[in-house]
Structure 1
Amino acid sequence: MNWGHKIIIVFVVFAAGILTLVTKSMRTKIDMVTPDYYGEELKYQQVIDGKENVNRLSAPVAIAQQSAGVLITLPPELHDKHITGKLTFYRPSDSGRDIALPLQPDPAGQQLINRQLFIKGQYKVKLTWTMNEQPYYQEQLLNIN
């Protein structure tokens, strides 16, 4: 085999490698944090205000894993108050496993989310609620065992 054939073989192998990389990269699934990323970014001032309001509470919202599920416990000053809000369990590794629920605490300020909704792994719990026209926002990492 002469040197001309060897150069052609190198070019063919190189082209096949590049085509393989392009094909694999086109098939890779890329999840954005949120489909409306730019719209959410414009609303970020509400998140900042919500975090400041949470810091003024006597204690942050407690998020604990129990055998029956995930227990959300509001601080005492929020018990028996009219609260409208949303719980989002964001799964960074798979957006198809995200869970969004309304925040509906009982009179004792607790809400239990059934364990069967979750799979093992890490979630970022995002609580957003409004009370007396004031926004509140809290985030916390939670590992489901």
Structure 2
Amino acid sequence: MNWGHKIIIVFVVFAAGILTLVTKSMRTRVDMVTPDYYGEELKYQQVIDGKQNAGKLSAPVTIAQPEEGIMITFPPELQGKALTGKLTFYRPSDSGKDIQLALQPDPSGHQLIKRQLLSKGQYQVKVQWTMNNQPFYQETPVHIY
């Protein structure tokens, strides 16, 4: 085999490799944090204010995993207060497993989420609520087991 044939073989293998990479990259799914990324970015000042307000509380919102499910517990000064908001379980690895629930704590400041709603793995729990027209926001990483 002469050197001309070897150069052609190298070019063919290189072209096949590039076509394989292009095909794989076109089939890879890319999830954004939110479908309306730019609209959410404009509202980010509310998140900043919410984090500051949540930082002023006596304790952060805690997340525990008893056998019954996922327990969200609010600090004592929020117990019995009228809170409106939402809980978002954001799964960075798969947006199809994201869960968004209404915030509905009981009078003792607890909210139980059924474990069956969530898959095992890493989540970012975003708790966003309003009390007395003031925004509150807290993010906590949680590994669901």
Superposition TM-score tier, normalisation by shorter sequence? over 0.9
Partner of 2:115: 115
Two-structure CA RMSD over aligned residues (Å): 0.8
Cα distance per residue 1:102-121 (max 9 Å; x no partner) = 00001111100001111111
Q: How does 1:133-144 map to 2 (within 5 A)?
A: 133-144=133-144
Which stretches of structure 1, 4 residues or more, deviate above 6 A after TM superposition?
Answer: none
One-letter amino acid matched to 1:33: V
Distance 1:21 1:141 in 2: 34
Partner of 1:76: 76
Q: Is residue 32 of structure 2 the alignment partner of residue 32 of structure 1?
A: yes
Distance 1:82 1:10 in 2: 70
Cα distance per residue 1:5-38 (max 9 Å; x no partner) = 1111111111111101100010111111111111
Q: How does 1:10-29 map to 2 (within 5 A)?
A: 10-29=10-29
- Could you tell me which runs of 5 or more consecutive residues in structure 1 were left unpaired when the two chains were aligned: none
Distance 2:14 2:59 in 1: 60
Partner of 2:7: 7
Partner of 2:101: 101
Q: Is residue 46 of structure 2 the alignment partner of residue 53 of structure 1?
A: no
Q: CA deviation at 1:4?
A: 1.2
Distance 1:50 1:62 in 2: 16
Residue identity (%): 76
**3-state SS of paired residue (1:125):** strand
TM-score (normalizing by structure 1): 0.97
Partner of 1:124: 124
Q: CA deviation at 1:125?
A: 0.2
One-letter amino acid matched to 1:90: Y
TM-score (normalizing by structure 2): 0.97
